[in-house]
Chain A
Amino acid sequence: MANEAAIINAVARTSLWLQPHRIVLILIALGLVLSAAFFMRWDWLPQYYEMGLIGIWRSLWILAVTCVLGFLLAVPLGLAQATGSFWFAAPAKVFCTVIRGTPLLIQLWLLYYGLGSLFPQYPWIRESWMWPYLRQAWPYGVLALTLSFAGYEGEVMRGAFAGVPKGQLEAARAFGMSRWKTFRRIWLPQAIYRALPTLTGETVLQLKSTPLVATISVIDIFAVSSKVRQDTYLTYEPLLLLALIYMTITGILVLALGRIEARIPNKIG
């Protein structure tokens, strides 16, 4: 019975959504997509197919690594600002302000071209084990994107840490938990719960920042599309496909992270 009701409900909702004007709009959109598929040039696709897949993989990999590292860095940044003494809070605040107040492109170029041009002057850096990595572009890209994510998320974590009710922490202390245990069992989990709703938005913003690494010669999907444009002299086809790829990734991210968010109890505090 309940099942039938659910099905009827779903059908009703679908028919509510699928009003006549929407059908017309969908048909127009389909027509646009089909005409783009038939009347534009896509013969370059087989040649660049593999390169594109590698590019997508690299973009996603950069996104995942920088988000995870950035979040790990954001926790101490937020904690320092929420409770730390002046000597901890002030540097964290300055870091967040600087990261949020300057364009990511400038941070990226400062690290890659700026630091990259300073390093070779020091022989001990050139002789160290890090040098093979420091000569490549991707560590600078990952570093810049990580710092950027940490700067924005650190501000969110500050609010999240500050938002956990004092009584919870006092209760934990009253139970005889040590400071570290209180932090690990009570404060951090609740702060993360509070910060999670912003995580989808921040991750999508981070995805939209990843193409900037193409400007320092990391071959991500954006760089692949630029290469196609250079090789084939086509302007629109690679860019349109690129936009479609990013929209698809965004859609998948929003759906996946939305599921994770839905699993976490949001009635807290």
Chain B
Amino acid sequence: MPLLPDLSQACLPPTQPSAVRASNPGATLIDALLSASAAGIIELLSPNPPGWGGTLMVGLLHSIEIALGATCLGLLIGTGGAYGKLYGGPVVRDLLAVYTTIVRAVPELVLILLLYYAGTDLINQALTAMGYQRVDISGLAAGIAVLGFVQGAYSTEVIRGAILAIPQGQIEAARAYGMSPGLLLRRITLPAMLPFAIPGLANLWLIATKDTALLAVVGFYELALATRQAAGVTKAYFTFFFAAGVLYLLLSLFSNLIIGRVEAWSRRGMPSLKDAR
């Protein structure tokens, strides 16, 4: 598989017009100014078809979809993993330790490639073995599954630490009331661990939004790949990658705003952090 379209030619000087430009230094300056002029940039980034703003926004939406899906899947795996690590048998604990160690030691890019190919391959082999047609796994589902698997390892550690931070008496009291394990999880463990887990989980959400960019390498259509496409067609590399950076940054800053609110909500009734310092 070609890794990515080779754009290494992009930084070589343009051959044909440079001869003309060499004789007329003023033209170079005007060219540079024109290509960077506000009107040109607005035209390039406008949401309507001659501009590529719409493409970027669709890419951003896909990125957010994957990040949301991956974080939710990661939370599910993380909660299960944390329970397994805390209350599971010796075999479960060791397997989970292997899972979290390997995922955290191997670059996300390698994991994404490996899981993407292995996952689609396994599903297709299972389907053909059962006598069905091969299917094309949708990029969205594959992206969510792969990133979710990676996120799961990190959230396992975060949630495990958060559950350990709950005063043990609360869980014992719930058991003494005769709560079933499911009720205990829903009513006591999850709400009580939330204030301890949210800083770590918020960090994971920010990592997830940024990791979606890596899916561009396996050819999934999200913001990074949309930007790359727009930049490749218009040759306005700087403008588009800058615009994508701004979009990612806005997403991060907006997330921080929401996270602050959620954290304040999850800590309701607890002493405020400022007083503790």
Contact = CB atoms under 8 A, between A and B. Distances in A.
Interface range for A: 35 or more
Nearest to B256: A101
Interface in A94-117: 97-98, 100-107, 109-110, 112-117
Given A105-B216, A117-B11, A120-B11, A208 B114 contact: no
Contact of B113 (A21, A101, A112, A239): A239
Contacts of B8: 137, 216-217
Interface of A: 19, 21-22, 25, 97-98, 100-107, 109-110, 112-123, 126, 134-135, 137, 204, 207-212, 214-217, 222-223, 226, 229-230, 235-236, 239-240, 242-243, 246-247, 250-251
A52 B245 CA distance: 33
B178 interface: no
Nearest to B11: A116
A109 B253 CA distance: 21
Interface in B172-231: 206, 210-214, 216-217, 224, 227-228, 231
Contacts of B13: 120, 126
B102 A247 contact: yes
A201 to B, nearest CB: 10
Given A102-B249, A105-B216, A243-B110, A113 B105 contact: no
B117 interface: yes
Contacts of B109: 211-212, 222
Given A114-B238, A214-B3, A106 B94 contact: no
A263 to B, nearest CB: 24
Given A106-B224, A137-B8, A215-B217, A117 B110 contact: no
13 contacts: A21-B90, A25-B95, A103-B213, A105-B214, A109-B224, A114-B238, A116-B11, A121-B31, A135-B11, A214-B3, A226-B3, A230-B2, A239-B110
Given A21-B91, A226-B3, A110 B210 contact: no
Given A120-B11, A239-B110, A239-B114, A109 B238 contact: no
A88 to B, nearest CB: 22
A106 B31 contact: no
Interface range for B: 35 or more
A249 B21 CA distance: 49
Interface in B1-53: 1-4, 6-8, 10-14, 18, 21-22, 25, 28, 31-32, 35
Contacts, number: 152
A117 B238 contact: yes
Interface in B237-261: 237-239, 241-242, 244-245, 248-249, 252-253
Nearest to A22: B94
A236 B224 contact: no
A114 B242 contact: yes
B167 interface: no
A117 B10 CA distance: 6
Contact of A243 (B4, B14, B106, B210): B106
A102 B216 CA distance: 15
Given A109-B227, A135-B12, 18 more contacts: A22-B90, A22-B94, A101-B248, A103-B211, A105-B216, A106-B244, A106-B245, A107-B245, A114-B242, A117-B238, A118-B238, A120-B12, A123-B21, A208-B106, A223-B3, A239-B110, A243-B102, A243-B114
B108 interface: yes
